[in-house]
């Protein structure tokens, strides 16, 4: 988590230097609406030698630009987010199937650094709904549980626009996955 905030701070301090080098237009503006569909790499929820993936980390988010002109060309956006992932712990035919649904909202700060590239940093506050279901031969217990908890995430990312409305994105941070790739569609 400290690394992410260090990266965000470094990007924010570099903005005036990059701005002085070239003038680029913002790819995200006040009033813009963008849908992101992503698939994640790097499990943030379960690790260990007996864990295997079920459904890879997938996410859906919707973003809306609400304020522009921040630090000259910066734009602030709000975000709605849903992520899902499932994993299985299997030890000699006995174990648990886990699933996680993360629902959250957040804020993002977009600042143009390179032409056709929408660069941003953000935070997410959400709720993790976790379920566990036992399978296989056990010692007589039938363990099924649902729990949850508040999550907080910081992230940085970029979208490269191929057309006016279609972009590819990559996002680094802590959420349903450490690294998420996907497609963005501007509505």
b/e sequence 5-31, b meaning 16+ C-beta within 10 Å: eebbeebeeebeeebeeeebebbbeee
Of the pLDDT bands very low, low, confident and very high (cuts 50, 70, 90), residue 94 is: confident
Of the pLDDT bands very low, low, confident and very high (cuts 50, 70, 90), residue 21 is: very low
Are the C-beta atoms of 154 and 1 separated by less than 8 Å? yes
Q: How far apart are CA 31 and CA 45, in angstroms?
A: 34
Q: Which residue has the higher pLDDT, 53 or 150?
A: 150
- pLDDT, tens digit, 9 for 90 and up, residues 109-146: 999 998 889 999 999 999 999 888 888 766 666 667 77
Per-residue confidence (pLDDT) for residue 138, from 0 to 100? 62
Which of 10-19, 97-106, 143-152, 164-173 has the lowest average pLDDT? Answer: 10-19
Per-residue confidence (pLDDT) for residue 19, from 0 to 100? 47
pTM greater than 0.85: no
Are the C-beta atoms of 71 and 15 separated by less than 8 Å? yes
Per-residue confidence (pLDDT) for residue 133, from 0 to 100? 86
Architecture in CATH for domain 2-186? Beta Barrel (2.40)
- Assess whether pLDDT exceeds 50 at residue 33: yes
Q: Which residue has the higher pLDDT, 12 or 29?
A: 29
Residue 115, token pair as written in the block: 């032409």
């Amino acid at each position: 988590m400290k690394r992410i905030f260090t990266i965000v701070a470094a990007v924010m301090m570099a903005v005036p230097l990059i701005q002085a080098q070239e003038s680029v237009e913002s790819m995200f503006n006040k009033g813009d609406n963008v849908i992101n569909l992503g698939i994640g790499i790097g499990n943030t929820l379960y690790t260990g030698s007996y864990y295997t993936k079920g459904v890879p980390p997938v996410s859906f988010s919707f973003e809306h630009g609400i304020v522009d002109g921040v630090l000259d060309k910066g734009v602030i956006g709000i975000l709605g987010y849903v992520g899902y992932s499932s994993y299985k712990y299997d030890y000699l035919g006995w174990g648990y199937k886990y699933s996680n649904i993360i629902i959250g909202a957040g804020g993002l700060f977009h600042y143009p650094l390179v032409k056709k590239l929408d660069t941003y940093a953000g935070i997410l506050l959400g709720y993790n709904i976790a379920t566990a279901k036992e399978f296989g031969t056990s010692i007589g217990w039938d363990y099924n549980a649902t729990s949850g908890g508040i999550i907080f995430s910081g992230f940085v990312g970029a979208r490269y626009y191929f057309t006016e409305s279609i972009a590819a994105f990559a996002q680094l941070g802590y959420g349903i996955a450490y690294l998420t790739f996907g497609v963005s569609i501007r509505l």
